[in-house]
Amino acid sequence: MIKDILITSLDQIDTPGGSVLHAMKESSEGYTGFGEAYFSQINQGAIKAWKRHKKMTLNLVVPVGKIRFVLFDDRDNERDFQEVIISKDNYCRLTIPPMVWMGFQGLSSGASTLLNIADIEHDPLEVDKRSVEQIEFNWSEQ
């Protein structure tokens, strides 16, 4: 387990006409303030990797589909990977602190959707990027 990564189980509530899915409360563990909320959609098999935020804490929830998140920690001379697959079958919130590399892959047919509740607004100057090849990981193996 990578230091300061949180995985928090969330409730799904069945109601007539469709479910209610919890995402985040002001009082939730991992909440560090509200800066911006946005969605990212990912097609089956597609990979978006790699990004590292210097200031932003990410809080990720997957209300639709199934997404594999891969985290890579190279702080403090470590080289640790951690993988989490989130869907309705494992419905949880993934909290990623600054300075951890992150990539993700769509695993369900059609597009999967993640919500990021971030504690600062989008700022390209605080994002480091590497191409998918620049951090070696076997995305085809599951």
Residues near a second copy (CB under 8 A) are 15-27, 33-43, 46-48, 61, 63-64, 106, 111, 113, 115, 117, 121-122
Q: Compute the least distance from the CB of residue 3 to a second copy, in Å.
A: 26
d(CA 65, CA 112): 4
State the number of CA atoms in the 13 A half-sphere of 102 facing the CB. 23
- Which residue's CB is nearer to a second copy, number 65 or number 97? 65
The minimum distance between CB 8 and a second copy, in angstroms, equals 13
Minimum distance from CB of 41 to a second copy (Å)? 4
Alpha carbon of 49 to those of 14, 18, 20, 101, 102: distances in Å?
A: 34, 33, 30, 9, 7
Nearer to a second copy (CB atom), residue 32 or residue 75: 32
Q: For residue 71, how many other CB atoms are within 10 A of its CB? A: 20
Nearer to a second copy, 50 or 73 (CB): 50
In the numeric block, which tokens belong to residue 140?
A: 């085809």
* The residue to which tokens 């969605």 are assigned: 39
Q: Name the minimum Å distance from CB 87 to a second copy.
A: 14
Nearer of residues 38 and 81 to a second copy, judged by Cβ: 38
DSSP assignment of 63-75 equals: EES-EEEEEEE-G
